[in-house]
Amino acid sequence: MQLSGTSPSAGSRSAAGGDASAIAKLQKQLHELVEELKGVATSNMEPKAKKERVKLLQSQIQTVQAQIAAIQRARQQEQQNAAMQKAQSAAKLDQENRDKADRKNISLGNLVDTYA
């Protein structure tokens, strides 16, 4: 699944919904593969064919698990990026407000050096 790096608000919500849907589909597929693997164990297949089928199913299970993990990591990274952007925006706004307050507090008396 490929996600674009646009705004973290609406884009993240729709991507998160898409992620949840993709994860649900992958989890269903994972469950089906596990059930099939269980079925192979009790099947009347030849030992060599059974061994190959088990190997194939295990490989598919690992692939699906890796896909789920990749989607979860991408979602987590996106959430961290959004939180960082929010914090940076808040810090910038705070600095701007302090700068405005500093400019308001400057008076003529503060600008003149006094000697005794």
CA distance 82 to 91: 14
Residue pair 3/74 in contact (Cβ under 8 Å)? The answer is yes
- Pairwise pLDDT comparison (39 vs 19), residue with the higher score: 39
pLDDT(1) > 70: no
pLDDT for 96 equals: 86
Residue with the bigger pLDDT between 113 and 75: it is: 75
On whether the CB atoms of residues 53 and 33 are closer than 8 A, the answer is no
Position 18 scores a pLDDT of 82
